[in-house]
Structure 1
Amino acid sequence: MSLAIFDLDNTLIADDSDFLWGQFLVDRGIVEKDLYEQANNKFYEEYKQGKLDIVEFLNFSLAPLAAHDASQLYQWREEFVETMIKPITLNAAHELVEKHRAAGDTLMVITATNRFVTEPIVKLYGIEHLLATTPELKDGQYTGKFIDTPCFQDGKVKQLQDWLADSMHTLAGSYFYSDSHNDLPLLKLVDNPIAVDPDDTLRATAQKSDWPIISLR
């Protein structure tokens, strides 16, 4: 039994849930349109370029959680998943997950997108284990802050190593599927790194390293 790890955005789903959540807030008038949309686009471009300041981004992206009651946030999140996420889930991704499940592998998603956004998305795939950036919750209200290590770049490795230390699992025979060069630290750690519809930088690295390149689109 091996550990089968999946990135979420642009891997199991055909877009970026963090970016789309920001766009959802803009479209519903929950945040100020022009300034928020401009910042959301800027941060997404920086992410794609590998230049994202993750703390600066989290201060931006988690602020709306602190501005609203949690019950209202959960209602918006349910609408978000129904209208913007379910249409971009991928049949081939479901099939890949089920292939690993049938092999008896332990399934995990590890994503930089925060747990508030990603938890219901991961449930669509029936995946039990989720490592993600965790928003702080106090007395049932989000604070706009995050706890522990942001699950981004080397932070994904840190979170996974912490999880492994508390589990009976190892990385022997492990898989990691990702689209992004931001995940190179973790891709280089597992036994079976697999590039999924990769960005140009990851594609070049995968070709040079003789890693499999697949498409789930």
Structure 2
Amino acid sequence: MTTRSRRRVNLRTRSTLAGEAAAASAEVEHALSVPANVQAAAFFDVDNTVMQGASIFHLAKGLYRRKFFTTREIAGAAWKQAYFRLAGVEDPEHVAEARASALAFIAGHTVAELEELGEEIFDEAMAHRIWPGTRALAQWHLDEGQRVWLVTAAPIEIASIIARRLGLTGALGTVAEREDGVYTGRLVGDMLHGPAKAEAVKALAVREGLDLAQCSAYSDSYNDLPMLSLVGDPCAINPDAKLRAHARSAGWRIRDYRTGRKAVQIGLATAGAAAVAGAVAGAVTTGIASRNRQGG
């Protein structure tokens, strides 16, 4: 087996582990009424689909304001992350390392601490960024007696807060390893991104007895094509150029809640904005990982 083949197998294994861990950790809000259609559900990506911007960026920014780390600690990492993303480096191992570093900033902190701060950060930085149109779509599925899950690369703890605040069934998110209620800074598998989202949805479908042919999925990103292609009713929301083109050719529904010139500007800036947001969030997390390794 070639080095490239081994890398692909390794990445697939991590994606599968991440998906299975996300499905196992997904909470179901039992306070909600029993769904009328137990085999149908809807799955929503979060960043730029449910919420304007990147949830992990808002989380990192909120934690920075709470002095989880300093500007000096992340200055060097910011340049490295920005270069990596903007230069378009595609080495699978480098990509995996970048994703794995994205939750390192919570190492040494407790689950309870992140959940408490996550509630505060949602109120101050996320609640007003929810797209009303997407929220209405999610409510439509609930009104039809279907369950609704968020599927995001954000930590499962934050994803669950967003889902609970929006009155949804639950969430699938990245699972960070913890020991005795304290984060180790490592992930279970990989970030819940791309193929890992599809693995999570498939695992949840088995657990909950869902018929994916009766399910819907929503996303803004071509990276979520594996998840969108799993269901009978895929829909592109605020799509990037590649997803819009694919959705049109496949006859999928397209919903764009950005209006007029703003929509054009956002569409043109999607790649750059994602790179900058990812660079900042990645820099934040990498800086914390470095501090933890040095014992500072």
Shorter-chain TM-score tier: 0.7 to 0.9
Structure 2: gaps spanning 5 or more residues: 1-36, 259-296
8 Å contact kept, 1:179–1:199: yes
8 Å contact kept, 1:10–1:16: yes
Alpha-carbon distance in 2 for matches of 1:79, 1:105: 29
Larger radius of gyration: 2
- Equivalent residues in 2 for 1:142-161 (5 A)? 142-148=183-189, 150-161=191-202
How much has 1:50 moved relative to structure 2? Answer: 10
8 Å contact kept, 1:97–1:125: no
Selected match of 2:59 from 4, 9, 21: 21
Aligned match of 1:124:
165
SS in 1 for 2:212: coil
- Equivalent residues in 2 for 1:49-128 (5 A)? 55-128=96-169
AA in 2 matched with 1:76: L
Cα distance, 1:72–1:108 mapped onto 2, change above 3 Å: closer
8 Å contact kept, 2:43–2:216: yes
SS in 1 for 2:208: coil
Aligned match of 1:206:
247
Cα distance, 1:61–1:184 mapped onto 2, change above 3 Å: same
How much has 1:100 moved relative to structure 2? Answer: 0.8
8 Å contact kept, 1:19–1:40: no
Aligned match of 2:4:
none
Q: Deviations over 1:62-97 (max 9, x none)?
A: 222113344443343222111111121122222211
AA in 2 matched with 1:9: D
Alpha-carbon distance in 1 for matches of 2:84, 2:208: 34
Selected match of 2:68 from 30, 39, 47: 30
Alpha-carbon distance in 1 for matches of 2:82, 2:58: 10
Q: Count matched residues.
A: 215
Structure whose residues are more often helix by fraction: 2
Aligned identity (percent) is 27
AA in 2 matched with 1:4: A
Aligned match of 1:192:
233
Alpha-carbon distance in 1 for matches of 2:111, 2:217: 33
